[in-house]
Amino acid sequence: MRQHTVIDSPYGPLTLVADADGALCGLYMAGQRHRPDEESFGERDDGRAVFAEAGEQLSAYFAGELKTFTVRLALVGTPFQRAVWDQLTRIPHGETRSYGQLADALGRSGASRAVGLANGRNPVGIIVPCHRVIGSDGSLTGYGGGLDRKRRLLDFERGTALFQVP
């Protein structure tokens, strides 16, 4: 049984979703591509400990005080998707990797397109930093939250822009 809450962020509202075991299984922005139907989020419960923890970590991230998230996650996907998402968490704050580099890290050279598809299905944006993946030529390509949000996140992490925490 899932539950959710909505918190404010520099991107506007973020919907956090937790599973029955109290782990974060979703973080969705308004208008995000591949955002599940609201009914799948479960009832709203603003008092869950995981939501407070995730909210505190996101606030610290947007204040420039946190570079690595430690909130407990429960990511639901295929084994390949979960392997890609695990690789995303290994990309250091302020750095990027190409889809091809991620495919190579997985031992699946030539699977950059499959990596891109898995990256786009990441259910916990920002915390699992799919925004840190770029095209092989350094271009900003695809982001479920929109390229403007991707650019803002990357600029922020590189220290070339600041967010104001609401």
CATH of the domain at 94: 1.10.10.10
Residue 134 is assigned to a structural domain of this protein:
yes
Amino acid 161: pLDDT: 60
| 25 carries an active-site annotation | no
C-alpha radius of gyration, the chain, whole number: 15
Residues 51 and 90 in one domain: no
Query: Are 45 and 35 contacting, i.e. CB atoms less than 8 angstroms apart?
Result: no
Residues 150 and 84 in one domain: yes
Residue 71 is assigned to a structural domain of this protein:
no
Q: Check pLDDT > 50 for residue 165.
A: no
Residue 89 is assigned to a structural domain of this protein:
yes
Residue 144 is assigned to a structural domain of this protein:
yes
Give the tens place of pLDDT for each residue, 119-129: 999 999 999 99
Residue 22 sits in a domain whose CATH number is: 3.30.160.70
Catalytic residue among 50, 130, 133, 134: 130
Q: Check pLDDT > 50 for residue 72.
A: yes
Which helix (H) or strand (E) segment holds residue 52: the answer is: helix 49-62
Name the residue range of residue 94's domain: 79-157
Which helix (H) or strand (E) segment holds residue 98: the answer is: strand 97-98
